Amino acid sequence: MSIHGVAVCDKSLNWNMEMANSSSIDVPDWSTLPAPIDDGAARHLRGMRIASAALPATDGSTIDLSTLPNTVVVYAYPRTGVPEIENPDGWDLIPGARGCTPETCSFRDHFAELKALGVGYLFGLSIQDTAANLRGKRDAAFKTSDPRDRERLIEQVFYPIFPPDRHASEVLAWLSGHPL
């Protein structure tokens, strides 16, 4: 597992390609993909203490989410898309699998707004190893510093995520209604 605070796309990507010509990083037509359902698998997370674990980051450091000051936003996704490399066969048929890159780009595009609402750290969490995430890396790390000492609890969980390119907007709306 690898944690990274990097965007995996840049604004030069053509987001309006036809699905027939799309690669693993293009925004798909969400209406053609199966939407995930809430199976309750994440309901127990809100209010839990964040466990101490050293996670490898793409910059070579390790991150322990339980020790970071300030508000931390972590979004999880199954894999980093790499331009010109197609998704595995059947990938689009897995509910919620498609859209990792558009989700990350959305967080990148809304990062200044997240910071303004008190987010000190923004991380993408993938099951891929660090080398795989580095292949998709495009932009600099997201990180700010404003130390506050408080117990690290999971305050909100968004699950399932669909369509993923709207996830950052959902987080922004929640943060706006729940001042830190």
The 3-state DSSP class for residue 26 equals: coil
CATH number of the domain residue 108 falls in: 3.40.30.10
Position 29 in a domain: no
Position 94 in a domain: yes
C-beta neighbour count of 141 within 10 angstroms: 16
Domain span at 76: 2-7+44-177
Position 22 in a domain: no
Position 16 in a domain: no
φ and ψ at residue 77, rounded to 5 degrees: -150, 155
Position 53 in a domain: yes
Q: How far is CA 126 from CA 22, 74, 78, 129, in A?
A: 22, 10, 6, 8
pLDDT digits (tens, 9 = 90+) for 103-120: 888 998 999 999 999 999
Position 155 in a domain: yes
112: tokens are 């200044």
**Number of domains comprising the chain:** 1
pLDDT in tens, the chain (180 residues): 444 443 333 333 322 222 223 445 667 888 888 889 999 999 999 999 988 988 888 788 888 989 988 889 998 888 777 777 788 888 888 888 888 878 888 998 999 999 999 999 898 888 777 666 655 443 333 333 333 344 578 888 998 889 999 999 999 999 999 876
